[in-house]
Chains A and B, each alone.
Chain A
Amino acid sequence: MIKEIIAKDIVRTFNSRFSLHCSIHLESGQTHALLGPNGSGKSTLLRTLSLLERPQQGEIIYRDEKESYLNPFSDLALRRRVTLVNTRPVVFRESVLKNVTYGLRIRGIGRKECMERAMEALRSVRLEDHKNQPAPLLSSGEKQRLSLARAIAIDPDVLMLDEPTVNLDPENTGIIEQAIMSLHEKGDRLILFVTHNLFQARKLADKVFFIHNGRIIEQNSKEKFFSSPETELARRFLRGEIY
C-alpha cells in the first residue's frame, strides 16, 4: 500500500501566463479535497501527482511500507498503483463490462477474477444491469459512473478524481459520492479529488488544499478550512466571490 506521496517544489510552466509551482503531502487513509478557482492548476497538479506528466522541476516521492520511490514516472508497476479519473469520461467502444475489465486485462489478471471484480465495481456504481450495453450509448451521468467503476475495479492504492460529479444531477452525484466513501472506508487508501462543490468537499474530505494561480496557498483540516479560513483569497472563494 502506498503510505504517502510527497511533491517537493514541483514546477510546470506552459507559457508566460501560467505556472504551477507547489509542494504537497498526501497520506494514505485520508481523503483530500483540492479546491480552487478555474484555471488555478488543479488538473495539471493531478496529472503530475498521478505520474502521467513530468514536472519540469522538483521531485515526486511515493513511499510504501518498504521503500521510497523518487520520480517513478517510468515505473509502470508503481504507476499501476495510482488511477486518475478524468473530468470528461472517455468510454471505450465496447460493452460496459469490457470497459470495466480493461484495467484488469492489461494487468494480466485472469478471466474469472476480472469478472468478479468488474461486477463488484459495477454494483458499487449501480450499473450492473447495464453490463452488456455498449458503453457509448450510456447517458453522461452513467458514463461518469462507468469511468469511476473502471478505476474501482483496479482497486488502486491511490485514487485521484478530477471533478467526478461536475454537471451531474443529485442522484448520479450521490451514487458517485457513495462509491468514493466506500473506498475511503477501506481505511488505507489515499484519495485526492478536485471539486467545485463545497458541500461535497465537506462531506467527503478529511483535509482540504486550496490552490490559487498555481500555488497551494492554504491547507488545513476540513473543519478548520471551512470554519476559519486563513487567507483572504480562501475566504472570498468560500463566499463565492472568485471561481
Chain B
Amino acid sequence: MGFLIESTLKAVGIITSLDREFISIVLLSLRVSGTAVIIASAAGILLAVGIYQMQSPVKRLLIPLLNTSMGLPPVVVGLFIYLLLSRSGPLGSLNLLYTPTAMIIAQCVLATPIIAGIAHASMISADPEIRFTALCLGASELHATIRVITETRYSILSSVVAGLGRVIAEVGAVLIVGGNIAGYTRVMTTAIALEADRGDFILAIALGMILLLLSLCINAVLYIFQKRGAID
C-alpha cells in the first residue's frame, strides 16, 4: 500500500513538474489521435451521407458491414496496416512503418466506422418529415440532406467525440504499426504498457492519470452533446 501511495505521489510530481519526456508523450498522443479523428470525421460523415442517400440494394449489405466494423479489434487493424506498410507489402515503398503517420492511418481506420455508424444511425432516426419539409420549402435533394445533417448536428458531434475516446485509449494498433520508439512513436498507451512491463510504474501512473482525465473530459463532452441532441 505504501508503495502505491509513494508511486502515485511521485507520478503527481512528474505531472506538475512538466517533465519533458512525459509532456512529449502526451502531446504525441494528442497529435496522432487528434489528426486521425479529424480525417476520420470527414471520411466518416461523408460515408454516412453516402449511405443515407444511397438508393441501391447494396445499402442493405453496407449497413451491417458498417455496424460490424464499428467494433474492429485494434490489434487486427494494426496487423492489417502493418502488412500493408511493411517493406514487402503493397505500400512498403512509402516507408511509413514505425512512423506517427502509420499510427494516424491505423487510428483513422478504427475511428471512421464508429463515426460513420453513429452519424448514419442518427440521420435515419431523425424525423423523416424533416427531409420532406425541406423539400416542401424548395430544397434540392442536397439541401434536404444538409438540413437533416444540421438537425442531427449534436448526435454527429457526439459520434466524433466517441471516435476520439476510442482511439486515444487503444494500444494494439499503435503498438504494432508505431513500434513504441522512444521520442518518436511512443504515445501514452504504449508507454504505459512498456513502463509497467519494466516495473517502472511512476511514469506509467502519471500517464494513466492523464489518460483517465482525458477520458473523463471526452465523456463529459459526449454527455453534453447527447443531452443537447435529445432536448432541442
Interfacial residues of chain B within 14-60, with CB under 8 A of chain A in the complex: none
**Would you call B151 and A154 a contact (CB within 8 A)?**
no
The complex places the Cα of A157 from the Cα of B129 at a distance, in Å, of 23
The complex places the Cα of A150 from the Cα of B133 at a distance, in Å, of 11
- Among the 9-residue stretches A19-27, A101-109, A119-127, A212-220, the one with 4 or more Cβ atoms under 8 Å from chain B is A101-109
Q: List 20 A-B contacts (CB under 8 A).
A: A83-B136, A83-B137, A84-B136, A85-B136, A86-B129, A90-B127, A90-B130, A90-B132, A92-B130, A92-B133, A92-B147, A93-B151, A102-B147, A106-B137, A106-B138, A106-B139, A106-B140, A136-B232, A137-B232, A151-B137
Given contacts A92-B151, A134-B232, A136-B232, contact A52 B136 (CB under 8 A): yes
The complex places the Cα of A88 from the Cα of B128 at a distance, in Å, of 12
**Would you call B136 and A102 a contact (CB within 8 A)?**
no
Given contacts A88-B129, A90-B127, A92-B151, contact A50 B138 (CB under 8 A): no
A196 within 8 A of B: no
The size bracket of the interface on A is 20 to 34
The complex places the Cα of A162 from the Cα of B133 at a distance, in Å, of 13
**What residues of chain B lie closer than 8 Å to A136, measured between beta carbons?**
232
The complex places the Cα of A90 from the Cα of B151 at a distance, in Å, of 11
Partner of B138, one of A90, A93, A154: A154
Q: How far is the CB of A79 from chain B (nearest CB, A)?
A: 7
A residues at B contact (CB < 8 Å): 50, 52, 76, 79-80, 83-86, 88, 90, 92-93, 102-103, 106-107, 134, 136-137, 150-151, 154
**Would you call A103 and B137 a contact (CB within 8 A)?**
yes
What 6 A-B pairs are tightest by C-beta distance, nearest first?
A80-B138, A103-B137, A90-B133, A84-B136, A90-B129, A106-B143
B residues at A contact (CB < 8 Å): 127, 129-130, 132-140, 143, 147, 150-151, 232
In the complex formed, the residue of A with least CB distance to B138 is: A80
In the complex formed, the residue of A with least CB distance to B141 is: A76
**What residues of chain B lie closer than 8 Å to A88, measured between beta carbons?**
129
**Would you call B132 and A52 a contact (CB within 8 A)?**
yes
In the complex formed, the residue of A with least CB distance to B139 is: A106
Q: How far is the CB of B156 from chain A (nearest CB, A)?
A: 13
**Would you call A93 and B232 a contact (CB within 8 A)?**
yes
Q: How far is the CB of B30 from chain A (nearest CB, A)?
A: 31
In the complex formed, the residue of B with least CB distance to A102 is: B137
The complex places the Cα of A150 from the Cα of B135 at a distance, in Å, of 13
The complex places the Cα of A88 from the Cα of B143 at a distance, in Å, of 21
The complex places the Cα of A50 from the Cα of B140 at a distance, in Å, of 14
**What residues of chain B lie closer than 8 Å to A106, measured between beta carbons?**
137-140, 143
**What residues of chain A lie closer than 8 Å to B134, measured between beta carbons?**
102
The complex places the Cα of A84 from the Cα of B137 at a distance, in Å, of 7
**What residues of chain A lie closer than 8 Å to B130, measured between beta carbons?**
90, 92
Given contacts A92-B151, A106-B143, A134-B232, contact A79 B129 (CB under 8 A): no
**What residues of chain A lie closer than 8 Å to B138, measured between beta carbons?**
76, 79-80, 83, 103, 106-107, 154
The complex places the Cα of A240 from the Cα of B132 at a distance, in Å, of 33
In the complex formed, the residue of A with least CB distance to B136 is: A84
| Additional A-B contacts beyond A79-B138, A93-B150, A106-B140 (11; CB < 8 A) | A80-B138, A83-B136, A83-B137, A86-B136, A90-B129, A92-B130, A106-B138, A134-B232, A151-B137, A154-B137, A154-B138
**Would you call A86 and B133 a contact (CB within 8 A)?**
yes
**What residues of chain A lie closer than 8 Å to B132, measured between beta carbons?**
52, 86, 90
**What residues of chain B lie closer than 8 Å to A86, measured between beta carbons?**
129, 132-133, 136
The complex places the Cα of A134 from the Cα of B140 at a distance, in Å, of 25
